[in-house]
Amino acid sequence: MKKINILVIAILGIILFSLTTCFSDYEGGKGNIKINFNNSSARQAGGDATYIIILTNEYGEVITETATGSTVLRVTPGKWTVEVRREVAGVLEHYDLTTTEVRMGKTNTAELDMQAAVEISDITDGSFSNTHYILLKGEEITVNDSITIDTGKTHTLIPVGNVKITRSYEDNPFKGNFFMVAGTLTLGAKGMTGTLIIDGLLSGNDDAYDSIITISGGELNMYPGVILKNNEWNTPSDNKGGGVFVGTGTFTMHGGTISGNKIFTNSGVAYGGGVFVDTGGTFIMYDGTISGNKVFKGTGVAKGGGVYVDAGGTFNEYGGEISDNTANGEESNVHIE
C-alpha cells in the first residue's frame, strides 16, 4: 500500500509540474510581442541611438518603451499597432509601423523594416529628398506650391497625432494640386493611430483650378484615417477629379474618405467630383468612403458626382461605400463610359 501511495504522489507531482509549465505563459492573461528590426543599418544602434517603441491596441491602451535593439514586450491579448522610431541624439532617422494580433500565452513577432525617415512641420517641393517615411507634426501645415513625387521615388506620409494640410491664402493663393505623383505616394498606413486631412478649401470666394492629387504615371495608396475634402474647382474649361485625378497610373484605396469636393464648369465638362479615372488609369477600391461630392454645369456637361471612369479606364471595386454624391443636384455615384 505504501508503494502505491508513493507512486500516486509521484504521478500527481509530474502532472502538477506539467500543468504549471504549460500554463506559465498564461500568467496574468497576457501574451508577448517580439519586435525584430530587419534593416541592418537601423539595427546598429550604437552611441546615442535609441529605439522608441509605441504600442497601441484596439481599445486605446498605449505602451511606450525604449530599447537598444530587438526586444520582447508583454501585453494584453488583442490587435496592436506597433510603431518604432529610431532616434539619434533626439533626431528621427528611421521609422516603421506594422500591426499584429496577440493571443494569450503566445508570442507574436512584429517584423519592422526601419526605413529612412524625417519628421517635419513644413512641406515644400524639396523637403522629401530620398526619405521613405515623412512624419508630419503640427496641427496645420500650409502648402503654397505643388509637390512632385518623381519617378522612382517612394514616400509615405504619416501624421504625428492629427494633422491637416491646407492651401496658402496670403498674398498669392495656392490653387493647384497638392501632389503630382509620378513615383509612389502612400498616405497613412495600416493601423495608423492619427488622422491626416488634406483640405482643398480656399478662403473667401476663391476656387481651386486642379485636383487635390494628380496621378501622372505613378501610384497613390490611401489608408484609413486619411481624408481628402472640400476642394472647390471652378474654371470655364474641362474640370476632372475634384479629389483625385487618375491619369496613366494607379490609385489604390485601402480606406479613408473622399468627401465634400465640388466641381463646376460653365461651358466645358465637370467629371468625377470625388475621383476621375482617365484612359489608361486604374482605380482599385478595397475600403473607405466616397460621399458628398458634387459636379455642376452651366451650359456644359456634368457626370459622375462620386466617380467618373472614362473609356479605357479601369475601376475595380471590392469594398467600401460610394454614396450621396450628385451631378446637377441628382444622385450620381459612379459613371462609367
b vs e for 50-60, b when ≥16 Cβ sit within 10 Å of the residue's Cβ?
bbebebbbeee
Any domain includes 216 = yes
User: What is the spatial distance between Cα 93 and Cα 168, in angstroms, rounded to a whole number?
Assistant: 29
Are 91 and 197 part of one and the same domain?
no
CATH number of the domain that 80 lies in? 2.60.40.1120
State yes or no: pLDDT of 72 exceeds 50: yes
**Over the stretch 79-118, which tens digit does the pLDDT of each residue have?**
999 999 988 888 888 999 999 999 988 899 999 888 889 8
Number of domains making up the chain: 2
Are 190 and 80 part of one and the same domain?
no
- Domain final position from 58, 81, 112: 112
Any domain includes 1 = no
Name which residue leads in pLDDT, 207 or 228: 228
Are 192 and 56 part of one and the same domain?
no
pLDDT of 17 reads 44
pLDDT of 20 reads 43
Grid coordinates belonging to 51: 529605439
Are 69 and 177 part of one and the same domain?
no
Mean pLDDT of the chain: 86
**What percentage of residues in the chain have a pLDDT greater than 70?**
87
Are 62 and 182 part of one and the same domain?
no
User: What is the spatial distance between Cα 324 and Cα 180, in angstroms, rounded to a whole number?
Assistant: 28
Any domain includes 235 = yes
Residue-number span of the structural domain to which 74 is assigned? 28-112
pLDDT of 28 reads 59
Out of 6-10, 48-52, 106-110, 183-187, least confident range: 6-10
Cell numbers 507531482 correspond to 13
- Domain final position from 112, 147, 163: 112
Shortest CA distance to 41 belongs to which of 121, 146, 116? 116
Band of residue 47 on the pLDDT scale cut at 50, 70, 90: low
Band of residue 205 on the pLDDT scale cut at 50, 70, 90: low
Any domain includes 99 = yes
Name which residue leads in pLDDT, 151 or 45: 151
Any domain includes 225 = yes
Residue spans of alpha helices (H) in 214-255: none
Q: pTM to 2 decimals? A: 0.86
State yes or no: pLDDT of 24 exceeds 60: no
